[in-house]
């Protein structure tokens, strides 16, 4: 029970009205008096910010999560499960998990999502990963932003801590265009050194309109040389859409050199870019 409060009224009807209102909608006057010190402390904390208690309450009501405050590890599992449910590829899951593999221990696997601050994310990207390239840093921020936006959509989080972090400025470098005669030399070198796997990748990218990342994930079974077609499964395609890319005559001219050397499994290994850079 709260403390008693004495009130004076000039008319009896006004006193009756007050009692009736209190009965229908009792105000916790006693609680206000008991928590007076807490209220004054909060007001002092807010004074430098020039906001009142009503502003803080309104902000919290608008932005707090209604479905709990999961740990970062729990949120990642929920996020991955939804992406699988809507048909995203296993490559997307692998990419997301790889990006978060260092961030989770950096903030703590049991850290609640609502407790992750903009300062923590900034320190992780720009200090903890100071040696990484600008493109990689921007990619990390993009992945984290997508994850936190998922939490907001699911009403687990109110604000995205990545939103106001300045993204790295990627300088524009004029792309290097490989001239036809240079590309011809590259393909001949693959033939001379019996690099059949790299020859296939270069042909698929150069003549068939297939992205490097797509071509790198294909298996020999996806090459239908008898039909002059390359099959791009939905889980490998950038937009998760299955397609058949035709192999033009100039591409078939090169691929015929590896027709009798086909094998099972992937066309090329994961480290082919590194080997190409250091051997070509």
Q: Which of 28-32, 80-84, 161-165, 236-240 has the lowest mean pLDDT?
A: 28-32
In this prediction, residue 278 carries a pLDDT of 47
Task: Give a three-class secondary structure readout of 75-96.
Answer: HHHHHHHHHHHCCCCHHHHHHH
CA–CA separation, 280 and 185 (whole Å): 11
DSSP H/E element including 149 = helix 134-153
Shared-domain flag, residues 191 and 268: yes
Residue 2 lies in a domain: no
Shared-domain flag, residues 42 and 19: yes
pLDDT tens column, 185-201: 999 998 898 888 889 99
For residue 227, which phi and psi values (nearest 5 degrees)?
-110, 0
Say if pTM beats, i.e. exceeds, 0.75: no
In this prediction, residue 145 carries a pLDDT of 94
Residue 149 lies in a domain: yes
- DSSP bridge partners of 244: 231
Per-residue tokens: 38: 């807490």
Shared-domain flag, residues 54 and 111: no
Segments forming the whole domain that contains residue 219: 180-279
Query: Residue 277: helix, strand or coil by DSSP?
Result: helix
Is the C-alpha dihedral spanning 161, 163, 168, 170 positive or negative?
A: positive
Shared-domain flag, residues 49 and 112: no
CA–CA separation, 39 and 45 (whole Å): 10
DSSP H/E element including 244 = strand 243-246
Shared-domain flag, residues 186 and 271: yes
In this prediction, residue 177 carries a pLDDT of 80
Residue 244 lies in a domain: yes
Q: For the chain, how big is the Rg over CA atoms in Å?
A: 31
CA–CA separation, 245 and 204 (whole Å): 9
Shared-domain flag, residues 190 and 222: yes
CA–CA separation, 41 and 235 (whole Å): 56
DSSP 174: P
In this prediction, residue 79 carries a pLDDT of 92
Residue 144 lies in a domain: yes
DSSP 221: G
Residue 171 lies in a domain: no
In this prediction, residue 27 carries a pLDDT of 56
pLDDT tens column, 130-187: 999 998 999 999 999 999 999 999 888 888 999 989 999 888 887 778 888 999 999 9
Shared-domain flag, residues 53 and 122: no
pLDDT tens column, 13-65: 877 777 776 666 555 555 666 677 888 888 888 888 788 888 877 766 555 55
Residue 51 lies in a domain: yes
Shared-domain flag, residues 212 and 251: yes
Burial of 220 (0-12, 13-18, 19+ CB in 10 A): middle
Domain count within the chain: 3
């Amino acid at each position: 029970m709260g403390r008693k409060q004495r009130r004076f009224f000039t008319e009896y009807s006004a006193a009756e009205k007050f009692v009736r209102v209190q009965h229908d909608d009792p105000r916790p006057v006693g609680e206000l008096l008991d928590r007076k010190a807490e209220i004054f402390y909060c007001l002092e904390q807010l004074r430098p910010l020039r906001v009142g208690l009503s502003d803080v309450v309104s902000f919290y009501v608008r932005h707090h999560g209604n479905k709990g405050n999961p740990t970062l590890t729990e949120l990642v599992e929920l996020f991955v499960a939804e992406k699988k449910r809507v048909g995203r590829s296993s490559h997307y899951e692998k990419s997301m998990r790889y990006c978060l593999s260092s961030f989770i221990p950096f903030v703590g696997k049991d850290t609640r999502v609502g407790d992750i601050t903009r300062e923590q994310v900034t320190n992780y990207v720009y200090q903890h990963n100071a040696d990484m390239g600008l493109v990689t840093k921007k990619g990390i921020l993009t992945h984290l932003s997508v994850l936190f936006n998922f939490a907001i959509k699911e009403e687990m989080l109110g604000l995205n801590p990545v939103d106001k972090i300045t993204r790295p400025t990627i300088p524009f470098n004029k792309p290097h265009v490989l001239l036809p005669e240079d590309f011809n030399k590259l393909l001949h070198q693959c033939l001379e050194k019996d690099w059949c796997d790299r020859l296939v990748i270069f042909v698929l990218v150069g003549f068939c309109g297939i992205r490097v990342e797509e071509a790198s994930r294909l298996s020999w079974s996806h090459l239908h040389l008898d039909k002059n077609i390359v099959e791009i499964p939905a889980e490998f395609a950038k937009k998760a859409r299955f397609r058949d890319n035709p192999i033009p005559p100039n591409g078939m001219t090169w691929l015929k050199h590896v027709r009798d050397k086909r094998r099972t499994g992937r066309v090329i290994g994961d480290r082919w870019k590194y080997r190409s850079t250091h051997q070509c």
